[in-house]
A and B are shown apart, each in its own frame.
Chain A
Amino acid sequence: MFSFALRPVRQLAQALLANDSPRQVAWGFVIGMLIGLVPKGNLTAILLGMLLFGLRVNKPAGLMGIGVFTYLGLFLDSFAHRIGSAVIASESFRTFHAELYQAAISPLLGLNNTVVLGQLLIGIYLIYPVYVVSYRFAVKVQAPLSAWLLRYKAVRWIRGAELGTQWGMES
C-alpha cells in the first residue's frame, strides 16, 4: 500500500536514475508524446500504449510524455482538425481512406476522425525533433542529475524501494 502510494515519485526518480540508455529514454518520451497527442478511445491509442509498455523503452519518460502532450494536445485540436480534414479530403488519399474505412480498419483505429488523424500526423512530424531533443536532454542531464540526486538519503531510499519492488521485496 505504501509502495503503491510512492509509485509516482519512484517512477519519476526511475526515469532519471534508471539504467536505461538515453535512446530508451528518448524513445519512451516520443511514444508517450504520440499517446498524449492522440485522443483516447480508439485502437491507435491502445496500440501506442502497447508499444510503450511492450518495447524496451523508458516507461517513466513515456508517462511523462503522455502527461505533457495530453495537455498540449488540447490546444492543438483545432489545428489538428484542419490537418486531418485536409488529408482525409485530399484527392490523393481519399480512395485510400475510403478503402480503410470500408475495411473497418480506420473506424477501429479512429483514423476517420479528423482530430485523431491530425494529432497522429502532428505526432509523427514531431517524432524526430522530439527524439533528438529528448535524447540530448537525457545525455546531458541524466548522469549529473543522477549523481546529484543520489546524494540525498530520500532519493536513495526511494531508489532502494524501487529496486526492492523490482526484486519482489514489496510487502
Chain B
Amino acid sequence: MGDGKLNFIRWKYLVPRLILLLACVASVRFGLDPLLHSLIVTSGESTTGAKVELASVETSLWNGRVVLRDLQVANPQSLMSNLLDAEHAELQLDMNALFHKRVVIKNGEISGIEFNTERTESGALEIVIDENAEPSALDPLIAQGAEWAGDWFDAASERLDADFTDQLQTPQVARALEDRWQGQGDALRKRVEELKTRGKQLEAEFREVKSNPLRGVEKLPQLQAQLKFVQLELVSIQEQIKKLPEQVKADRQALTAARKADEAFIKEHLKFGRLDGDNLTQVLLGQPVAEGTQSAIDWIVWARKRLPTNSTKQIAKQRSRGTDVTFGIAQPKFHIERLGLSLTAPISGEPMQFVGSITHVSDQPRLLAEPAKLQLMATGVVPATLEVVSDRRGDVPREELFLTCTAIPMAGQTLGKSDKLALELSPSTANIRVELVLTGDDLSGEISFTQPNFRVSPLANPNSSQTLLAALSEAFGKIDGVSAEIQLAGTLKRPQIKLTSPVGQQLADGISTAVINLASKKSETMLANVSAQMTEQLAKLESTKTKLQDDLTAKLGENQQLFESLATFSTGDTRLPVPQLGSLGGSLLRK
C-alpha cells in the first residue's frame, strides 16, 4: 500500500479512522431514532414537569422525514390524565438547514390530537405543590355580587312571608274599646239596678212614715237625705248617658288614627328597593365568564413562560472570533414553517374535531417576517374558528386571540348557594366571539356572548317562600335569551372584567316588579282587613251604645213613677224636683 503512487498517505493512520467514520455513520443511521426518542422525551418532561411517552420514532435522513407515533404528554395538574395525546406526527425537515445547524420543519401533519385523555398509570415525575397559588382576582367580584343578590332575596322572602298582624294597632284599639264599653255598660246597668232597689226601699220607708206620721217624724229627715242622694245618683247616671255619643265619637277618632298608623306601618314594612341589574348579571354570568377567562389567562401565562422572551440576546451570541456571514437574512435555529393539526378538543364537554395549522413558530421570532400563528377550524355540529397570533418580533411581546363559535352546547347548571338564591340554568346553545389582545402584560379585549334559548328558573329549598318562587318563575319566564358583553382590561396578574348584559337588568326589573306587586297585594289585603275590622268595630260600638242607651233609658223610665211618687212623699222645703226622663231621652235620641 505504501509502495505505490499514494505512498505519501499514511494508510496505517487513515484506514482505522475511515473505518471509525463509517461506524459513526452507521451509528447515526441506526442510533438516531433512539437518540431522538430520548431527546423528545427528556426535553418534553423538562418542559412540562410530567411524564412524556412516545411509542416510536422513525427518521429518514435522506428524505428529511421524521415520524412520531403515540405521543402522550401527562398533565402535571392531573396525574391520571394526559395534557396532550397525539396519534401520529409526520414532520418534513429541511435537510439543508440542518447542515446549517438549524432545525426547520418545512411541513408536517399531526393527527389524532386529543386533550385530557385518561391514563392507565400516573404521569407524575414529581409532585409539585404551588404554595403561592392565590385565589382568582375575579373571585371577590363574583362573591360580592352573589352575596348581595342572596341577601336581597333573603330579605324579600322573609318580609313577604312574615305575619305582622299582631303588630297592627287597629285590632288592639278595637279590642280595648270593646272591653271598655263592655265594662262601662255593665257598671251603668249595675248602678241603675241599685238605684231602682234603693228607690223601692225608700218608697217602702216613706209609706211607713206616712202611715204613722207621729212615729216617722224623726225618721223623715233621714229619708229625705237618702232621697236626695238617690236623686243625685240619678242625675249622675243621666249625665253619663248623655256623654255616650261623645265617647263614641272619640273612639271613632281613635280607631281612625290607629288605622292610619297601620297603613303607614304596612307600607313601610313592605317597601322594597329595586334589585340591581349589574349585580344580578354578575351572579348569573360572572362565574362562568370569570372561570373561562381566568383559564385562558392561565394558559397564556403558562405558554409565555415557555416561549423565547428576548431573542436579541440569542442573536448577539456569536462565535468569539469573527463574524458568521449568512448571505441574506439571518435565520432562526428552530423554525416550524407549517404544521398541520388535526385534533379533538372538548367544548362544553362535547368532543369536537378541529383541523388547522400552526405556522412560523421559532425560537428566534425576531428573525422572521411573519408572527407565529395558530389557526383551527371546526366544521361539525358546532362551527368554530380559532386564530392565535403571537408576535414576539418587537421589544414588547404581543398575543392576539380571535375565537368565534356558534351553537356551543351549554350544559345545564346551578348557580348560587342552595340556602340562599339558587338558580337553575337549563341546557341550551350559545354563540361566542372572543377578541383578546395581550401587549406586554397589558390585557385588553372583548367577549361577546349570546344564548338565544336561555331558560332560568329558581330552585326551591325548604326556606324558600312559595309566593316568591312563583313570582320569580313568572319573571324568569319572560326571559328567552341572553346576551353579554365582557370587557377585559388590567394585567395578566390582575385582570379586570366588566360584564355588561341586559339580562341582569331584565331579570332585575322582572323580579323587582313581581316582588313589589306581591308586596303591594299583601299590603292592600292587610289594609282591607284593618279597615274591615275598624268598620266592624265602629258598628259594634254604635250598636253597643244604642243598646246601652235604650236599656238604661227604659230602666230609668220604669223608675220614673217611683221617683215622682217619692217626691210627693217629701213635704215642705225638702221636696226635690225629679229629672224628666223624657227630656233625657230626647237629648239622647238627638245624638
Contacts and interface: CB of A to CB of B under 8 A. Distances in A.
B326 A55 contact: no
Given A104-B100, A107-B99, A107-B101, A113 B323 contact: yes
A104 B13 CA distance: 28
B324 interface: yes
Interface stretch (A81-89, A137-145, A147-155): A81-89
A118 B96 CA distance: 25
A102 B327 contact: yes
Contacts of B321: 39, 77, 113, 115-116
Contacts of A108: 99
Contacts of A118: 322
Given A55-B8, A55-B9, A84 B99 contact: no
B325 interface: yes
Nearest to A104: B99
A169 to B, nearest CB: 18
Given A104-B96, A104-B99, A54 B13 contact: yes
A136 interface: no
A113 B9 contact: no
Interface string B96-107: 100111000000
A85 B99 CA distance: 22
A98 to B, nearest CB: 5
B17 interface: yes
Given A98-B327, A104-B100, A108-B99, A55 B322 contact: no
B10 A113 contact: no
A112 interface: yes
Interface residues of A, number: 27
Most B CB within 10 A of own CB, among A97, A113, A116: A113
B319 interface: yes
B162 interface: no
Contacts of A104: 96, 99-100
Contacts of B14: 50, 54
Contact of B322 (A50, A81, A102): A81
Contacts of A88: 325
A87 to B, nearest CB: 10
Interface residues of B, number: 20
Given A53-B10, A54-B9, A55-B8, A116 B99 contact: no
Most A CB within 10 A of own CB, among B96, B321, B323: B321
Contacts of B325: 88, 97, 101, 112-114
Interface in B329-379: none
Contacts of A85: 323
Interface string B415-449: 00000000000000000000000000000000000
Contacts of A66: none
Contacts of B7: 56
Contact of B9 (A56, A102, A114): A56
A97 B327 contact: yes
B322 A113 contact: yes
A113 B322 CA distance: 6
A112 B10 contact: no
A63 interface: no
Nearest to A99: B327
Interface in B17-42: 17
Interface in A47-87: 50, 53-56, 77, 80-81, 84-85
A80 B323 CA distance: 11
A116 B96 CA distance: 21
Interface in A4-57: 39, 41, 50, 53-56
A164 B401 CA distance: 76
Nearest to B14: A54
Given A104-B96, A115-B321, 5 more contacts: A50-B17, A54-B17, A102-B96, A104-B100, A113-B319
11 contacts: A53-B10, A56-B10, A77-B322, A80-B322, A88-B325, A97-B325, A98-B328, A107-B101, A107-B324, A113-B323, A114-B323
Interface of A: 39, 41, 50, 53-56, 77, 80-81, 84-85, 88, 97-98, 101-104, 107-108, 112-116, 118
